[in-house]
Amino acid sequence: MFVEYNKNPFNNYTDDCVIRAIAAEMDRDWDDVWLDIMVLAFQKKCMMSSNNVWQEYLHNNGYVRYNIPDTCPNCYTIKKFTEDFQNGSYILGTGTHVVYVKDGNYYDTGDSGNEIPIYYWKKG
């Protein structure tokens, strides 16, 4: 089920889905996660939104990435994922968007339930 949620401290609707999702999952302040990822991006000389930056951040914090099988590439949606994963918390990635999922709900600034996830991260 979709839950409208914006962890951004100014309630901005901006390209911060990675920060929002990670901050929600880790129960940390948006600012703290933004700073952590900004420092890592600086060290790697990459943009903060680069997949290799925020995914390394998750890996360094004990998260494991799982790929979603490509059995139905156009029909397995975020909404379907939440139906299949009713317990636990996840960071779900589509390749261009990141969403926080917990106990069968997906938290985002807009309803992204019809987007196609390709992987998820879970605390190991």
Point out which residues pair with 89 in neighbouring strands: 102
Please give the pLDDT value at position 71: 84
For 64-99, write each residue's pLDDT tens digit. 999 998 888 788 999 999 999 999 999 999 999 999
Which distant-in-sequence residues (6+ apart) come within 8 Å of 6 by Cβ? 12, 13, 20, 109
What are the backbone angles phi and psi of residue 113, rounded to the nearest 5°? -60, -25
Tokens of 23: 């901050």
Q: Model's pTM, two decimal places?
A: 0.95
